[in-house]
Amino acid sequence: MADKLAPTVEKRLDAASLDKVYSLKNDAIVSFLNQYMELLDPDSVFVSDGSDKDNDFIRAEALNNHEEIQLPGMHTLHYDNYYDQGRDKGKTRFLLPKGVVLGQAIDTMDREEGLADVLGIMKGAMKGRRVYVLFFVLGPADSEFAQLSVQITDSSYVAHSEIILYRPAYKSFKKYPNKPFFKFVHTQGELYTFNLKLGGKDLAFKVSKNMEKKRIYIDLQDETVLSANTQYAGNTIGLKKLAMRLGIQRGSREGWLTEHMFVMDVFGPNGRVSYFTGAYPSMCGKTSTAMIPGEKIIGDDIAYVRNRGGKAYAVNVEKGIFGIIEGVNAKDDTVLFKKLHDKGTEIIFSNVLLKEDMSVYWNGMDKSPPPTAGINYAGEFKAGMKGPDGADVKPSHKNARFTIDISALENADAAMLNNKQGAPVAAYIYGGRDVDTSVPIEESFDFEHGIVFQGAFLESETTAATVGKAGVRTINPMSNIDFLSVPLGKYIKMNLDFGAGLGIKPKVYRVNYFLQDEKGEWLNERTDKVVWLKWAELRAAGEVDAIKTPTGLIPKYDDLARLFKEMLGKEYSKDDYTKQFSIRVEKQLERLARLKVYYETEDKWIRANSKDESTFIPAVVFKILADEERLLGDAKAKHGSVIAPDKLA
């Protein structure tokens, strides 16, 4: 094996790292390292075996390299470039060979052109630096779900984040030397150093500099992700949303699903446990749902789902949370808020405000006036300041984050976190955000209707988690459109076919926590989501009835009134119920009109560019569109444009 390592690579690896590579007895790993060490030209290479010793070295490097700032206890703080505060969809591309198409909704470019571009940018990018090589497994190790992965990065912050978020896999690579693996290569590029003073202390942090050379390219043919000139985790932690793209494509070949879903326990009467998965776009209540007090969390973001014996089973792809911190407060997020203040728990904060006493502040953490000074993602912060783009700078960025291991949470389901069998799925939830259309919770007529009407027809307002304008209503099928590596029609069909192979199908729900009245007042409180969840669990167990509407099944008033009393200790008025669960026919028809244009346009494009019928939008999508238009039209003729639940009971 030793003679297969290029001399220029060998001189970069010390004896310990060379031994770790040789011990794997894996020619594919050696080839991968040869290719990218030659290209990136680092001064040294640190190969991690995932041991406590190696992890501690990476943690220390993150501080020494000024990619993180030490806070009290086991907390650290990272800042990204002012213009690098979210997933950059505009700089993210799939690299495709000639003749391969994914659809007009998916950003692609010619593979040869893309590789020439990004590899040219990466050439020599790590000169003068140390590179970190890390081994991880997505899903529980030694399970049918497990997908091996290798990360190359020159960012100790990225490496530190990944050892919190992902399961170590050096031993798995030893055990399965011939198993294919996903590959991730990242360079933060040239860095700019902020030198600041705070509370009499000299502080420095480094951020990626050349935003115009930012690239996030996914090479599906080689199952490799290449990213450059960025530090933001969504662009650089390859095993997160970038790995979703690779997982979706691999699953399409092998018959399993990669979904943008949490996995959680929902408790019913007499200690019954039902396992739910849920897909929500960013800032639509996904993590807060998975963290509802009284329930348990298995994972908050990404799930692999497989059919075993005619039943769906899901696992958390990750072992940690990279969560949005804005608005997390003691009242609405009791468990998480408490843990974020536990200095004995390892946490990386990013893009929040650092105060003079070295404590952190994020927008919405309490009701007291926000701090007027400190350090944040814009550098030295002063209340009322403007950023370099002229925008108002708040103390903390709207997409500020925290990184934590799920096992540190008191509501973690310890028995299921690494369960190799996965959790049997009782229900899917699709959650979006709109102020004037969707009821707080609605069950689909059946699984097929749920995948299409609740999932493929998911529409939501954009948020600060992506670069661009917030507040724009967009169609986001299964909350996965940004991550699809197969044509949209094929992805919908994959989900429908998966369901067709199940003997016991999960219930399917859609939730909307953001409904407002005509005055702009919220019709839901943040804590109400526990009631919607408990009702869904009772429905999944067949214990309560529902009211059939033109768009799905909604709760009966008496069931919700009882749950509000039991779960929240408060009265639930019939007036509130009527406002929340009335069917807004005109708004639903407007939504269907947008969806019709969206899917007809996509189908026309894919048919013009592909002869593969499996990539076409399935006919059932247009059937359900037509059915819903008819049902809503009939209901409007009979009951009017806004239909109170009692008229349908």
The catalytically annotated residue of 185, 284, 352, 515 is 284
* pLDDT tens sequence across 598-624: 999 999 999 999 999 999 999 999 999
- Say what the alpha-carbon torsion angle 360, 361, 362, 364 is, to the nearest 10 degrees: 150
The answer to whether the beta carbons of residues 188 and 209 sit under 8 Å apart is: no
Place of tokens 């814009």: 378
pLDDT at 2: 45
End-to-end CA distance of the chain: 72
Torsions phi, psi of 554, nearest 5? -120, 160
Spans in the chain with pLDDT lower than 50: 1-3
Q: Are strands 303-308 and 257-259 parallel, antiparallel or unpaired?
A: antiparallel
Place of tokens 């030295």: 380
* pLDDT tens sequence across 204-233: 999 999 999 999 999 999 999 999 999 999
CA distance 251 to 257: 5
What is the reported pTM? Answer: 0.94
Please name the CATH architecture into which domain 2-68+83-254 falls. Answer: 3-Layer(aba) Sandwich (3.40)
What number does CATH give the domain 266-312+418-647?
Answer: 3.90.228.20
pLDDT at 284: 87
Q: Coil, strand or helix: which one is 172?
A: helix
Q: Which of 577, 553, 555 is nearest to 453 (CA)?
A: 553
284 is catalytic: yes
Given its phi and psi angles, is residue 7 left (phi above 0), alpha (psi -120 to 50 degrees) or beta?
alpha
pLDDT at 287: 85
Please name the CATH architecture into which domain 323-407 falls. Answer: Beta Complex (2.170)
Three-state SS for 412-467 is ECCCCCCCCCCEEEEEEEEEECCCCCCCCEEECCCHHHHHHHHHHCCEEECCCCEC
pLDDT at 595: 97
Domain with CATH 2.170.8.10 in the chain: 323-407
Domain with CATH 3.90.228.20 in the chain: 266-312+418-647
Domain with CATH 3.40.449.10 in the chain: 2-68+83-254
Strand partners, 171: none
Contact residues for 10 (Cβ-Cβ < 8 A; gap 6+): 2, 18
pLDDT at 13: 86
DSSP string, 537-576: HHHHTT-S--EE-SS-EE--HHHHHHHHHHHHS----HHH
The answer to whether the beta carbons of residues 347 and 402 sit under 8 Å apart is: yes
* pLDDT tens sequence across 166-214: 999 999 999 999 999 999 999 999 999 999 999 889 999 999 999 999 9
CA distance 340 to 74: 11
pLDDT at 1: 44
